Amino acid sequence: MATLKAIRKRIGSIRNTQQITKAMKMVAAAKLRRAQDAALRARPYAEKMTALLSNLSSRVSPEAHPLLAAREEKRVDLVILTADRGLCGGYNANIIRAGEKFVRGRAPEKETNLILVGRKGVDYFRRRKIEAVERYQQIGSIATEQLAGELAEKAIARFLSQEAAAVYILYSRFRSALSQVPTLEKLVPVAGAAEESEGQPTEYLFEPGIEQLLSSLLPKIVEVGIFRALLEAAASEHGARMTAMDSATTNAAEIMSHLTLQMNRARQAAITKELLEVVSTAEALK
Same fold, 4-20+245-285 and 39-243: no
SS3 track for the chain: CCCHHHHHHHHHHHHHHHHHHHHHHHHHHHHHHHHHHHHHHHHHHHHHHHHHHHHHHCCCCHHHCHHHCCCCCCEEEEEEECCCCCCCCCHHHHHHHHHHHHHHHCCCCCEEEEEEECHHHHHHHHHCCCCCCEEECCHHHCCHHHHHHHHHHHHHHHHHCCCCCEEEEEEEEEEECCEEEEEEEEEECCCCCCCCCCCCCCCCCCCCCHHHHHHHHHHHHHHHHHHHHHHHHHHHHHHHHHHHHHHHHHHHHHHHHHHHHHHHHHHHHHHHHHHHHHHHHHHHHC
pLDDT in tens, 150-169: 999 999 999 999 999 999 99
- Angle 211-147-134 (CA atoms, 0-180°, nearest 5)? 95
pLDDT in tens, 11-25: 999 999 999 999 999
What top-level class would CATH report for the domain 39-243? alpha beta
pLDDT band, residue 144 (cuts 50/70/90): confident
Q: What is the pLDDT of residue 91?
A: 94
Q: What is the pLDDT of residue 195?
A: 43
Q: Which residues are catalytic?
A: 88
**Phi, psi dihedrals of residue 76, rounded to the nearest 5°:** -130, 160
Domain ranges in the chain are 4-20+245-285, 39-243
270 compared with 26, residue with greater pLDDT: 26
The share of the chain scoring above pLDDT 90, in percent, equals 55
User: Does the structure show a pLDDT above 50 at 194?
Assistant: no
pLDDT band, residue 122 (cuts 50/70/90): very high
User: Does the structure show a pLDDT above 90 at 207?
Assistant: no
Q: Region 203-213: what's the mean pLDDT? A: 73
Q: Which of 156-170, 212-226, 268-282 has the lowest mean pLDDT?
A: 268-282
pLDDT in tens, 58-95: 677 777 788 888 888 999 999 999 999 999 989 999 99
Q: What is the pLDDT of residue 202?
A: 62
Q: What CATH code would you report for 4-20+245-285?
A: 1.10.287.80
pLDDT in tens, 88-112: 989 999 999 999 999 999 888 899 9
pLDDT in tens, 38-56: 999 988 988 888 777 777 7
pLDDT band, residue 197 (cuts 50/70/90): very low
